[in-house]
Structures are given as C-alpha cells and as structure tokens.
Structure 1
Amino acid sequence: MLATMSEIDWSDVGMGELPTGTVTLLLADIEGSTRLWDTHPGEMAAAITRLDRVVSEAIAAHDGVRPVEQGEGDSFVIAFARASDAVACAVRLQRAPLAPIRLRIGVHTGEVRLRSQTGGDANYVGPAINRTARLRDLGHGGQTVLSGTTSDLVVDQLPTDAWLADLGSYPLRDLPRPERVVQLCHQTCATTFRRYARRKPLRLIIFR
C-alpha cells in the first residue's frame, strides 16, 4: 500500500513543543495529488519518499515543529517561532528536486490557538491556520505565497537570491476580509502563474 504524507513516520523530526503566541505557519500540499497517484503511482511513491526526507531536513535546518497528525492526505503543516525561518524553509522546499511533485505553499503569521488531542498532543485551530490554508489554496504548484503580515516581517531578512512580489489584495474563501498576497520568489522558481479567480487588478511591486 502506498503511503501518503499523513501516513509517514515523522516521529524523529520536528516533533518538539509547538510554539504558541504569535507564530508563523507554513502549510503545503501537492498540486494535482489525486491525479498523480492515479496516473503515476510508482513515480509518486518514490517522490513521496523524497519529499519525506526533504521536509524532515528542512524542519531540522530551520527550527520548525510539525504538529502531530495535522494535515490531510498529501498536505503538511510546519510551525515556526520566527517568520524568517519559515520563509527560508519554504525556499528550501521549493528548490528541492521533487518532480513530478509541485508544492503549493502558504505562509502566514498570527496569534494561534491550540486544541488538545488524544494522548496529550495538540493541533493548531482558529483564524491563523485557516488564513494560512486559504493562502495555500490560492497558490499554484511551485508557488509560495505569503500574507501581508509575514511579508512585512521578512522583507529585510530574505534568503540569498530571494525576493518578494506584491500581487495585490485578494478575497479568501469564507474569510471576512481580503488579504494582501505576496509571492516569495527565488532564482529557480517560476515567476509567472495563471491568474487567480475573483481577483482585483494586479499590482506588481518588487522588493529586493
């Protein structure tokens, strides 16, 4: 039986105490995961194994923590005490050779809430993680999108050869206010994506 991200043993990496208060959350999933499993099951099995290793290494390198059993199917959540660590982790993930996998990543900084789970573990709930998930859903494979809050925190602390592109304000599904969406770019990422639905006119501002 082929393992999804939620079925992989993460017990050795990133399972420390979850940060609380104001936290930066990284949510990622695989674009077209269901289709890829149906059409390329062998390649996907190998790619998921590579992704498991890459995510584990990225969590360890950038002081991330992964909530136990949070994330569905081929999605995952990583929490960071510092926004700059989350952005560095996102760049590392997008630069990794993961074909045929292409990750959609959303990153947002906000005050978090924890909900206790059976066995003493906890997961994030509430507005911050919901907004991060909507940002991720807005993106395309190979794209990392930040909230305006996260962008403002990291604009002067970007990884080498990374920059920000302000895409303007977008409504997020089921949330009461729109979000200023900022794309995290780097030399090996695509910088042109198909337009989002229901968007306001594109306002592209480059920060380097």
Structure 2
Amino acid sequence: MTRSPDAPGQEYAERCFRSSAGIGGGVLLLALTAWLGGDAMLRGTGNAPWLALAGLLFALPLIVAFTLRPAVWAGEDRLLVRNPFRTITLPWASVEGVRAGYSSEVFAGGKKYQLWAIPVSLKQRKRAARRQARDAAEDVTGRASVTPRPSGPLRAPSDQAIEDLRELAERGASREGAQGSPSVRWAYELFVPSAVGLVLFAALAIAG
C-alpha cells in the first residue's frame, strides 16, 4: 500500500492511500489483455476481430476500475473515497467510524462504504501481531531475543492506515469546512463502455 503526501491539483489529497499490488497487477493485466485482444483483431478471421474489440471494450474498463482506480484521499475537511464505480465525498463531520475487519470500511450518514484502496491482509496482520508479542515478551523479561529481530512495522499497513484516518476524522470533525452530508458520484465513464462491450459481444456471439 502506498501513502503519498500532497498531490498537486487535488483538493483533498493531503494524504493518498493506494494499493501498490493493485496498481502493479492492473498494469500487467492491461498489457496482457491489450496484447491478446490486439493480436486477435489484427490476425483474426470472420467476426473474430469484432469479438476481440467487444471483449476489449468490456474488459479494459473493468480492469481499470478494480485495480488502478481505487484510491482514498484524506484532507483537512473531508475524505474522498474512489471505489471501482463510485466516488464518495465524506465531510469529516459526517464520518461516524472507520474500521478494518476483513475489509476496510467507513461509516457515514447511516451507510457503510468499503475502502477498496486499503485492502486488509490477514497475513500481514498476523506477522505484526507476532512481532508485537515478541517485543512485549522481551520488555517483560528484560532480555533481548537470541534470534534477530525482524524489521517491519508493529502494525499491518491497513490497520495503520485506518488509525491515521480515525485521527484525521477526530481532528477535522469540528472544522467549519468539514460540515455537510455524504455525496456519491457514479463512474459512468467506466461501466457504460463495459456494458456496451458486453452487449456487443453477446450479439456477435449469437449472430455467429
């Protein structure tokens, strides 16, 4: 997971949380899909090029939506959550809670919104818990472990990100600019082309 400082031109981007694994996987998937689809369009016969075009129109927006698009921007006044098909703007005063269970979630306006950009890794959480337990045992006994202490944070990255968001929510809730209600904008630019591609692919497949 990456967490970056202020991004120029972003009103809410004092802190930005994104998944490095998601971005890397998305780039690879885009390259592979474009290569396979482009090859089918150039070398295919019959209606294969059109099927490939429809498949690309269906698949590429979905890959972008679920890998490259998710991000969370936390500013002084509000939280901006960009999920695959929605962008949710949450003034801090409307945020009722933030938690990370099996997924990262924010509660606002009586609703729950998932934070796709902050995935929860149970493996990382267990590793951090083991290190915490080891350090606590060393503090009690007053002796250092004979085995080298592994490097790394005492918290899983997702849990640390959620704690950071909680602190920002508590600090920002009373600000004058942090008042208001949640607002949601749908990413029509992604799911409309994907839906068109699906319909076109189905029509071509039926037509033979």
Structure-2-length-normalised TM-score: 0.24
1 or 2, which has the higher helix percentage?
Answer: 2
1 or 2, which has the higher strand percentage?
Answer: 1
Q: Which has the larger radius of gyration?
A: 2
Structure-1-length-normalised TM-score: 0.24
